[in-house]
Amino acid sequence: MNTQPLSELVEQSQQLLTQIRKHPQFKILRFDCDVTAGDVAQFFNTLQYSNTGLDVSRLESFNE
């Protein structure tokens, strides 16, 4: 199990998404899907905002 705080993982994911969106190979891709990179960015923004007041001590453990 990853012991990094969720906020750090979300921040890393946001940075990677930014790098992906700026990558020349990504810019030339032409694919049709229901989810855009902008949707994913919004998801991470919402996750980061929601995590701000999250009390992790109340969460149940689960196996990956």
pLDDT value of residue 25: 92
pLDDT value of residue 15: 93
pLDDT value of residue 61: 40
Write out the chain's pLDDT in tens, 64 residues: 668 888 899 999 999 999 998 999 988 988 778 888 889 989 988 888 887 765 544 444 433 3
Q: Whole-angstrom distance between the N-terminal and C-terminal Cα of the chain? A: 7
- Residue pair 13/37 in contact by the 8 Å Cβ criterion: no
pLDDT value of residue 64: 36
